[in-house]
Amino acid sequence: MEQTSGKIGIREYIAIVLLTIGTKLADDLPAILYSSLYNAAWMTPIISGVISILPLYLLLKTMMYYKEKSLLEIIVHLFGNYIGFVIIFILWIVGTAAIVIDSAIYTDIIGTMYFTRTPTIVIYAILIGVCVYAAKHGLEQIGSVAKAVLPYIKASLFFALILTMIEGNFAFLFPVLGPGGWEVIKESSIRLSIYGDILYLSLLTPYIRKTKDFTKGTWIAFVILIVELTIAILAYVLLFDYNTAHLLNYPYHEVIRYISIGFLANMETLFFPFWLIATFIRFAVYLYINGLLFGRLFRIKDFEHMIPSLATLFLFLGLILENESIALSELRDHLLFVVTPIFFGLPCMLWILAKFKGDYKNEKT
Amino acid sequence: MFKNLITKYMTTSKEKLYTQQSSEEAISIKEKDITSNLDHTTSTFKSIYSYPNNSDVKFRDIQIGGINKKAVLVFINTISDTDMIEKQILNPLLLNEEPSRKIDDLISAQSVSTAKKIRDILKEINKGNVALFIQGEKQAFIINAANFQGRGIEKAENEVSLIGSKEAFNEKVMTNISLIRKKIKSEDLVIESTTVSKRSNNEVYYVYVKDLVNDELLQTVKERIDQIDIDSIQNLAILEQHIEERQKSIFPTILNTERPDRAASFLEEGYIVLLMDNSPASLVLPATFWSFYHTAEDRYVRLFYGNVTRLIRMMAMFIALFTSSIYIAVTNFHAEMVPPDLLLAIAATREKVPVGAILEVLFMELAFELIREAGLRIPGPIGPTIGIVGALILGQAAVQANIVSPIVVIVVALGGLSSFAIGNISMNFTIRICRFAFILAAGAFGIYGITALFVVGIFYMVSIKSFGVPYLSPLTPKYLSSGDTIFRRMLKNEIFRPSYLKPKDMKKK
């Protein structure tokens, strides 16, 4: 009889990363990319991915060096108590903003695409309620569920993308560079934050069985994500052409309405549950990480108990945003800009400071 | 706080209402040792057993031949083997002619032991053994002669198997142990026993394979059983409810099986099996979700046959859970999903039905559950009636009376039928109860409600532990094991025992 340690293994970690970041291909992220990059939007995941390798590498290197410390402890260790507190506080604020904006967007998706007559607050409350229930169970349970459902979610996505590709037109890809090469690189690099969640996910290291699992898992998940996001964004363009695609707020949901097999003309209700499950898990992870940060900031040891109250706060903040539904994707875009420097800068600073403090030298000698 | 006060008030007032008779005197007598005075001992036992009002307790006075000592045999003749008592105890004692022989040598029964304390002697007599008191001896001889009445070994009725052995456990624990021993002929198979209840002195038998079982697990199980403080535990089904971790949960966490072959195969993996008198079953623990989903048959048939059955059973599980709720969700919320022809057909049949789809489905589900429950409780000879009534009410009359639409009959019947494919009774209940929850969720929020409830359910399932073992292991969290979850593998590839049990020997071969 093995008493579980409350920690997750590499499989669970990869599942969590894939679900939190992978779900982005099914919200309004592709729409945001299409609006500035047209049919070259599919290059963004690759270009940002390539650029992200640097901060990721530095982050993992720093974390591998302070093996026994969590990211938060490393930040405090390197920046000192006060600046450390400020940085963690900023992380928490940005994380909170992300949850509020994203959950409002997801509520909007459910409301506008599937349940037009149900009051928003009910949809929102169920979304947050289920996620709180999930998050309160702790990371081990979230990881277990993520791992258990991942194959089915990805299979449904794969199925949808295959059907999309079959119906798609490859001529829509041209001109390949869309608005121009320089534009593509510029726009892609200011949206590095697509992968910014990894920075937040690295807060989970104390709950992962081995540090090596974390680094290995991150790289594996990262590669899968790049491929997955690229293919998805490519698929939407193939089906709709960029002109239509950038008008669509939620391309994935339009896609699953569009495709059909045999006598089943409207298949979205088949794909919708899988997307929902992924969504629930994604926000459960977000809420958990947010609680973790909050707990660290205000020295609350059993931070899991804070999650319901925090989530209620997010719910009401999100409802305020929800009333301005046109503003939502604007806000999301702004958030992507804000997170980018943090995602790029923080690991670099950590690494430089670690070098400066001479901790690396000690390692070599 | 108020709750505490109220319960406090309730208990004190109740205790005042019912004044108890003090049994301290009786208890203090039982704690004493017997004396060498035979008449005194006999009268003590007669008063304890309310002799001669208590008609099946026998006191047999004899004069032992050869030694010429007075003696008394005490036993309860309804639970002991009277034939054996006569041949192996009475005859040798009465017919003895040699004055030098000891009592142990006189009696030819299987086992003879001695006891001094009155309580211990009573316990043995209550088990069906014979107590022999001899004038001048400060101890009683306990002679093994128990013979409880019970059924013979019969076919398994709830867990039917076409190819496997047909024997099932019966209500006699000794028979059950012998059925297990028949399958595991090993000196490492240990059967320990302990008394769990205070008044009825019910015994629980731990069965395990010594060189496989994890000692810590065994210790936990023993502690859990030792903590039970209750007057009587009649059988395993009651015991199961006492030792479960989450007693209000709808998911079972201990497997109740009536097949000795299944129990034996679990033992060989390192699980612990509990047996008790009066239960035609055994408890296997810890149990994971998979043990409720598997049947013995899956492993007896060839790889593909077994996996096809498993596939069908998994489908049945999902159909039983979701058909009704998906029907409601689709007709109420996602009508665009159904092809127009079918949608029109459904609408046409529903035209005359006065109630909404959800009421219609709930009504049919309830009718189905009623027929099922009534069919279970109905005496055998009038059994067929229920089938006719069920078929007529459900299949024909309800539709013709425009209370339900034909498609709802199909949907509910399909779900109901599928639920029979889940063999385990506990899991069957779980699925049936969950089905109603899903119907309500679908009625309120369509697919969104179903999915939300499903996610909550999955998180709940993942959080359940049975004696420290996660409920869905080895699927998640991942553990090294034979990989026998949704599908099974080739038998020759099943190399490992489940590592979540931490058995002493991981490799099967």
Query: Min CA distance, A149 vs chain B (Å)?
Result: 9
| Residue count (chain A) | 365
Contacts of A272 in chain B (CB under 8 A): 447, 451
Whether residue A4 has pLDDT greater than 60: no
Which whole number is the average pLDDT over B443-464? 93
Whether residue B57 has pLDDT greater than 50: yes
**Cα distance between residue B420 and residue B19, in whole Å:** 50
| Chain B residue whose CA is closest to A15 | B476
Which whole number is the average pLDDT over B58-86? 88
CB distance B477–A144 less than 8 Å?
yes
pLDDT bin (cut points 50, 70, 90) of residue B17 is low
Query: Min CA distance, B32 vs chain A (Å)?
Result: 43
Is the distance from CB of B442 to CB of B326 less than 8 angstroms? yes
Hunting for tokens 């589900």 — which residue is that?
B365
B467: contact with A, CB 8 A cutoff: yes
What pLDDT is attached to residue A5?
66
Whether residue A362 has pLDDT greater than 60: no
Contacts of A148 in chain B (CB under 8 A): 458, 462, 472, 475-476
Q: Is residue A354 part of a domain?
A: no
Distances (CA, A) of A102 to A333, B132, B335: 11, 83, 29
Q: What is the mean pLDDT of chain B?
A: 87
Q: What is the ipTM of this complex?
A: 0.92
Closest CA to A124 of A272, A321, A307: A321
**Cα distance between residue B104 and residue A11, in whole Å:** 66
Contacts of B286 in chain A (CB under 8 A): 1
DSSP secondary structure of B341-353: HHHHHHHHHHTT-
Strands B282-285 and B469-470: unpaired
Q: Is residue A35 part of a domain?
A: yes
Whether cis (ω within 30° of 0) applies to the bond prior to B474 is yes
What pLDDT is attached to residue A171?
79
pLDDT bin (cut points 50, 70, 90) of residue B7 is low
Which tokens sit at B105? 């040598």
| Chain A residue whose CA is closest to B220 | A1
Of B333, B451, B476, the CB nearest to A276: B451
What pLDDT is attached to residue B461?
92
**DSSP at A194:** G
HSE-up (13 A, CA, CB side) for residue B392: 6
Query: Which of A170-174, B43-47, B296-300 bottoms out in mean pLDDT, i.e. has the lowest?
Result: A170-174
- List b or e across B134-157, with b for residues whose CB sees 16 or more CB atoms inside 10 angstroms: bbebebbbbbbbbbbeeeebeebe
B214: contact with A, CB 8 A cutoff: yes
For B7-45, the three-class secondary structure string (H helix, E strand, C coil) is: HHHHHHHHHHHCCCCCCHHHHHHHCCECCCCHHHHHHHH
Q: pTM for the full model?
A: 0.89
Whether residue A81 has pLDDT greater than 70: yes
More confidently predicted of B272 and B377: B272
Is the distance from CB of A274 to CB of A159 less than 8 angstroms? no
Strands B203-209 and B189-195: antiparallel
What pLDDT is attached to residue A359?
63
Whether residue A212 has pLDDT greater than 90: no
Each residue of B136-190: pLDDT tens digit? Answer: 888 889 998 888 888 888 888 888 888 888 899 998 898 999 999 999 999 999 9
Q: Is residue A278 part of a domain?
A: yes
**Cα distance between residue B248 and residue A351, in whole Å:** 52
Each residue of A254-295: pLDDT tens digit? Answer: 888 888 777 777 778 888 999 999 999 999 999 999 998 999
Give, in degrees to the nearest 5, the angle at Cα B112 between B111 and B114.
145
Is the distance from CB of A243 to CB of A43 less than 8 angstroms? no
Distances (CA, A) of B4 to A101, A247, B365: 45, 62, 41
pLDDT bin (cut points 50, 70, 90) of residue A365 is very low
What pLDDT is attached to residue A1?
40
SS3 at position A185:
helix
Q: Is residue A231 part of a domain?
A: yes
What pLDDT is attached to residue A2?
44
HSE-up (13 A, CA, CB side) for residue A123: 25
- Residue A25, domain extent: 10-344
CB atoms within 10 A of CB B490: 8
Distances (CA, A) of A309 to A27, A157, A287, B256: 26, 34, 11, 41
Give, in degrees to the nearest 5, the angle at Cα A20 between A19 and A26.
75
Whether residue B283 has pLDDT greater than 70: yes
Is the distance from CB of A19 to CB of A288 less than 8 angstroms? no
B183 Cβ contact partners less than 8 Å away, ≥ 6 residues apart: B260, B261, B264
CB distance B463–A137 less than 8 Å?
yes
Contacts of A149 in chain B (CB under 8 A): 458
Contacts of B476 in chain A (CB under 8 A): 12, 144-145, 147-148
Q: What are phi and psi of B113, to 5 degrees?
A: -130, 175
**Cα distance between residue A53 and residue A60, in whole Å:** 10
Closest CA to B130 of B58, B23, B182: B58
Query: Min CA distance, A213 vs chain B (Å)?
Result: 14
Which whole number is the average pLDDT over A9-24? 90
Is the distance from CB of B129 to CB of B142 less than 8 angstroms? yes
Whether residue B11 has pLDDT greater than 70: no
Of A134, A148, A269, the CB nearest to B475: A148
Each residue of B224-233: pLDDT tens digit? Answer: 999 998 889 9
B445: contact with A, CB 8 A cutoff: yes
Is the distance from CB of B148 to CB of B232 less than 8 angstroms? no
**Cα distance between residue A221 and residue A22, in whole Å:** 10
| Chain B residue whose CA is closest to A13 | B477
CB atoms within 10 A of CB A258: 16
What pLDDT is attached to residue A301?
83
Count of domains in chain A? 1
SS3 at position B62:
strand
Residue type, A246: H
**Cα distance between residue B442 and residue A54, in whole Å:** 47
Whether residue B464 has pLDDT greater than 60: yes
Q: Is residue A359 part of a domain?
A: no
pLDDT bin (cut points 50, 70, 90) of residue A74 is confident
Each residue of B87-122: pLDDT tens digit? Answer: 888 888 888 888 877 877 888 878 888 888 888 898
More confidently predicted of A338 and B459: B459
CATH number of the domain encompassing residue A129: 1.20.1740.10
Which tokens sit at A110? 């459910």
Distances (CA, A) of B326 to A348, A355, B480: 51, 59, 36
Give the H or E element holding residue B204: strand B203-209
Is the distance from CB of B250 to CB of B430 less than 8 angstroms? yes
**Cα distance between residue A90 and residue A286, in whole Å:** 16
What pLDDT is attached to residue A326?
67
Contacts of B450 in chain A (CB under 8 A): 273
Q: Is residue A189 part of a domain?
A: yes
Which tokens sit at A244? 């239509």
Q: What is the mean pLDDT of chain A?
A: 85
SS3 at position B153:
coil
Closest CA to B334 of A299, A272, A8: A272
Which tokens sit at B224? 């859990």
Q: Is residue A269 part of a domain?
A: yes
Of B220, B456, B500, the CB nearest to A133: B456
**Cα distance between residue A292 and residue B198, in whole Å:** 49
Q: Is residue A69 part of a domain?
A: yes
Which tokens sit at B214? 């994890």
Whether residue B19 has pLDDT greater than 70: no
Query: Min CA distance, A147 vs chain B (Å)?
Result: 7
Q: How many CB pairs under 8 A join A and B?
A: 116
More confidently predicted of B277 and A180: B277
**Cα distance between residue A196 and residue A95, in whole Å:** 10
Which tokens sit at B86? 């006569």
B271: contact with A, CB 8 A cutoff: no
DSSP secondary structure of B161-197: -SSS--B---S-HHHHHHHHHHH---TTEEEEEEE-B
pLDDT bin (cut points 50, 70, 90) of residue B204 is very high
**Cα distance between residue A296 and residue B5, in whole Å:** 39
